């Protein structure tokens, strides 16, 4: 796992990498510039004010076999004080310089992996432009050095991490090995699940599990109407196979009013990913926390209602070219 917090000079405080990502894409495309980050440790900033590097937050990279999580890294020309959280553990990671290019010949210390999410608190409404983000501060970390019964990673971590950003949770889930997913636990709305139980594909979720799991699957996007779009419709490739048909269909759609995207702090990032996924040979991998409901009127199939855009994650995937036989 990687460190996800740093002090951003332009934003004037300690931010998570995901907030930096949202703020970056909220800038007009022609005027976007990378932010300058310093150490997240106040004592370390007061003593040495070391520069740190934001990695991948300014890219909407297409998913590969191993998704590259946005994160922060230190570099060799800006050392930290000995008591800094960045110098706690694991000196065997590779260095990155301020340009974001990896250097294989440089080693540096890194912090404890406090970004393994223990508690997910889904938001119930969008965070509007200009409003303060609840995750602008570092996530709550509660000291807990007691050994875990499973002897797993939680026993060596700094404490408990809480987030209301689904993207942070999904990146954590994506980077876990399958065995780790069976051991790590996540609490959502007072209910505890293993990471293995957390995410269900659209075709496997049941009505009994509706609203209590993250659902995911491949999807394509359609702008409507084509001449002057007011909505994006995210149409899942698979359907709700374990639900009854509605109007003869089990299809699943997420409706995203463009007005809503423009008003939300997360909207510009989602819009950028939608536009990228609209290119030829691209599609979306969608993760969502919400309720699946039958579409009303004469509409067929189901709709996934997302109470807050922070509960929606879109990853752009480029189709691999077909192998020649």
> What average pLDDT does this structure show over 280-291?
95
8-state DSSP, 127: -
Q: Is the pLDDT reported for residue 144 higher than 90? A: no
Q: Which residues lie across from 254 on neighbouring strands?
A: 234
Q: Which residues lie across from 131 on neighbouring strands?
A: none
List, for residues 87-122, the tens digit of each pLDDT value: 864 344 444 444 444 443 343 433 334 468 999 999
Residues 184 and 193: their CA atoms lie apart, in Å, by: 9
Residues 202 and 285: their CA atoms lie apart, in Å, by: 12
> Considering only 86-95, 248-257, 272-281, 292-301, which range has the smallest mean pLDDT?
86-95
Cβ pair 245, 302 in contact under 8 A = no
List, for residues 198-237, the tens digit of each pLDDT value: 999 999 999 999 999 999 999 999 999 999 999 999 999 9
Cβ pair 204, 210 in contact under 8 A = no
* Dihedral (CA of 153, 155, 159, 162) sign: positive
Cis peptide before 26 (omega within 30 of 0): no
């Amino acid at each position: 796992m990687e460190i996800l917090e740093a002090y951003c000079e332009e934003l004037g405080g300690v931010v998570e990498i995901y907030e930096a990502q949202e703020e970056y894409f909220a800038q007009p495309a022609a005027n976007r510039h990378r932010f300058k980050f310093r150490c997240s440790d106040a004592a370390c900033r007061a003593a040495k004010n070391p520069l740190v590097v934001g990695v991948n937050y300014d890219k909407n990279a297409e998913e590969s076999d191993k998704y590259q999580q946005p994160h922060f890294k230190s570099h060799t020309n800006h050392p930290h004080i000995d008591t800094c959280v960045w110098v706690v553990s694991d000196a065997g990671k590779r260095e990155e310089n301020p340009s974001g290019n990896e250097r294989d010949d440089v080693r540096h210390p890194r912090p404890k992996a406090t970004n393994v999410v223990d508690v997910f608190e889904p938001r119930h409404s969008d965070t509007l432009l200009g409003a303060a983000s609840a995750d602008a501060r570092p996530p709550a970390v509660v000291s807990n050095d007691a050994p875990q019964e499973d002897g797993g990673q939680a026993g060596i971590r700094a404490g408990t991490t809480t987030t209301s950003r689904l993207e942070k949770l999904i990146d954590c889930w994506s980077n876990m090995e399958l065995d780790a997913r069976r051991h790590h636990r996540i609490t959502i709305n007072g209910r505890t699940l293993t990471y293995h139980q957390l995410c269900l594909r659209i075709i496997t979720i049941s009505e009994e599990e509706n609203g209590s799991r993250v659902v995911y699957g491949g999807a394509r996007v359609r702008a409507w109407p084509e001449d002057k779009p007011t909505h994006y419709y995210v149409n899942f490739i698979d359907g709700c196979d374990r639900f009854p048909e509605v109007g003869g269909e089990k299809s699943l759609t997420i409706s995203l009013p463009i007005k809503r995207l423009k008003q939300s702090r997360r909207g510009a990032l989602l819009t950028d990913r939608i536009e990228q996924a609209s290119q030829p040979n691209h599609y979306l991998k969608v993760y969502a926390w919400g309720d699946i409901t039958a579409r009303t009127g004469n509409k067929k199939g189901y709709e996934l209602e997302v109470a807050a855009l922070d509960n929606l994650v879109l990853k752009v995937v480029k189709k691999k070219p077909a192998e020649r036989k």
